[in-house]
Amino acid sequence: MPGGPRPPHGAQLPAAGSPAARPFDRRDRGGRGDRGGRFDRGDRPFGGERGAGGGERGYQTGGASPSAGGSGYVPPPQPVPISKQGVLEIMDEGYGFLRLDRHWMPGPDDIYVAQAQIRRFSLRTGDLIVGQMRAPKDSEKFASLLRIETVNGVEPESAKRRPVFDELTAIFPNRMFDLEMKGITGQRELQQANLSNRVINLLSPIGKGQRGLIVSPPKAGKTMLLKGIAHAITRNQPEAYVMVALIGERPEEVTDWQKTVPGAEVISSTFDEPAESHSRVAEMCLERAKRVAETGKDVVILLDSITRLARAYNQCVPPSGRTLSGGMDPAALFPPKRFFGAARNIEEGGSLTIIATCLVETESRLDDLIYEEFKGTGNMELRLDRKLQEKRIFPAISVQASSTRRDELLLEETVFRQAVMLRRMLAAIGTNEAVEAMLDRMSKTETNHEFLMSMSKAKAMV
């Protein structure tokens, strides 16, 4: 026994349970009755000193404790939900994030969207969601979406019944974007852009749902042409949703677009960003455009350029083991074709128009291959001429190489006949001289109607 004398050698230990085996029996030290009960001890009265709330510290409620002898627990103040807006991107695992960045790139302020919310309301990548969020907890990295208020401007329950873009019926464009701007006297930049827009209206009109290419050598004015189209659509059709996707552009070009075309949403990935950023911006832009078109609205994407987009995919897609001319992987052509092929006029209502620039005459076999792959996929092509550009003629549009398929569906019958007559007259004169003469006469009139009337009078005099 620890602490006691050891029994002599050979002595027999007492049996368990005998009085000798229990030297510290309860009767020896006194039971509860000997030392008094709880109320006989006189330590403190029930509920005294410490108060009814418990110990001296009381309940800790966010750093503030009730006074001694308080009535009970005071709950901490609940955080007020904050309303946020962002574009949804769904991950492969099923959950998603609301991208708050202007270019929809991942960031620390993104909001987590649970998979259950995505399934309940049939949410899709590109949805513009407004909802209430809560701040992240200790073990969380992102804020979480608590409640969805609107999806693309409508109630969440209504958004569940919307159609799927890829299941809508595609038809030829039959409604025209009027690019002729009025009331721009004194605005030199818009007047110059309006001249090119008037040429497009007559020779290569753009319809709602058009899939068009602006084929241009370097420094031939394709960006100015694209800006003129953006100005005209935002002024003449303010109900249309215009998006400008700048892939591989210079940063100053992005700033200039944002300042000069405030009515358009500019999404960019500049040339100093990785190829994965280029492809991500293009895909998010396309998904956002699809979600808007599903609501029955007219959407326009102006892409500059599809050549740099194809080059970006050539760097980031998994290699297929085959190589085309210029080092192009065949697998890298499918994503930009899917982007360009999404343009369509929808029979059920709405449209998605994509006008993309394509570089040629760059002394690059890869750029030539990209143009050859996309040449027959569009239903509208506008070709810029290097010889006209060298003469400082703007717009340097090649009349013979520019056209729109089924343009009789877009132009009025009278205007269509006059446009055909104009083409014949220009073809008889010659390419460069014809464009110079046409632009000179158009600059002396304010509208295409006046120009066509003057052409009719000139033909009648002949």
pLDDT at 458: 61
pLDDT tier at 18 (50, 70, 90 boundaries)? Answer: low
Task: Compare 83 and 10 and report the one with higher pLDDT.
Answer: 83
Mean pLDDT (whole number) for 310-334 = 88
Residue type, 79: P
User: Is the distance from CB of 173 to CB of 209 less than 8 angstroms?
Assistant: yes
Confidence check: pLDDT of 410 > 60: yes
Could you tell me the two tokens for 355? 């006008």
pLDDT at 240: 94
For the chain, the domains span 82-161, 188-410
Cα distances (Å, whole numbers) of residue 95 to 115, 121, 162, 387? 4, 13, 21, 54
pLDDT at 13: 53
Mean pLDDT (whole number) for 245-272 = 91
Report the distance separating Cα 19 and Cα 38, nearest Å.
30
Report the distance separating Cα 324 and Cα 409, nearest Å.
38
Confidence check: pLDDT of 62 > 70: no
pLDDT at 461: 43
Q: Over the stretch 128-176, which tens digit does the pLDDT of each residue have?
A: 999 998 888 878 889 899 899 999 988 998 888 899 999 999 999 999 9
Nearest CA among 269, 276, 225 for reference residue 251: 269
Q: Supply the DSSP symbol for 56.
A: T
pLDDT at 10: 52
Q: 188-410 in CATH: which number?
A: 3.40.50.300
pLDDT at 456: 73
pLDDT at 125: 93
pLDDT at 48: 44
Could you tell me the two tokens for 459? 């033909």
Angle at 208 between CA 206 and CA 213, to 5 degrees: 45
Torsion of CA 309, 314, 320, 324, to 10 degrees: 100
Report the distance separating Cα 348 and Cα 335, nearest Å.
26
pLDDT at 50: 46
Task: Compare 122 and 186 and report the one with higher pLDDT.
Answer: 122
Q: Over the stretch 212-244, which tens digit does the pLDDT of each residue have?
A: 999 999 888 888 899 999 999 999 999 999 999
Could you tell me the two tokens for 19? 């009085």
Confidence check: pLDDT of 275 > 70: yes
198: Cα separation from own chain's centroid: 31
Confidence check: pLDDT of 346 > 50: yes
Q: Homologous superfamily of 82-161 in CATH?
A: Nucleic acid-binding proteins (2.40.50.140)
Angle at which helix 413-429 crosses helix 188-203, to 10 degrees, equals 100
**Exposed/middle/buried for residue 80 (C-beta within 10 Å: 0-12, 13-18, 19+):** exposed
Nearest CA among 263, 296, 349, 287 for reference residue 154: 296
**Exposed/middle/buried for residue 47 (C-beta within 10 Å: 0-12, 13-18, 19+):** exposed
Omega of the bond leading into 173 within 30 degrees of 0 (cis): no
Mean pLDDT (whole number) for 396-416 = 89
Could you tell me the two tokens for 393? 């003629």
Q: CB-based contacts of 290: which residues, under 8 Å, 6+ apart? A: 126, 165, 342, 352
Report the distance separating Cα 34 and Cα 462, nearest Å.
137
Nearest CA among 223, 267, 230 for reference residue 357: 223
- Helix, coil or strand: residue 241: strand
Report the distance separating Cα 417 and Cα 21, nearest Å.
125
Report the distance separating Cα 229 and Cα 5, nearest Å.
108
Q: Spell out the long-range contacts of 401-405 with Cβ–Cβ below 8 A and sequence spacing 24 or more.
A: 401/215, 402/203, 402/204, 403/203, 403/204, 404/204, 404/205, 404/206, 404/207, 404/210, 404/212, 404/379, 404/380, 405/172, 405/379, 405/380
Decide whether 82-161 matches 188-410 in CATH topology: no
Confidence check: pLDDT of 4 > 60: no
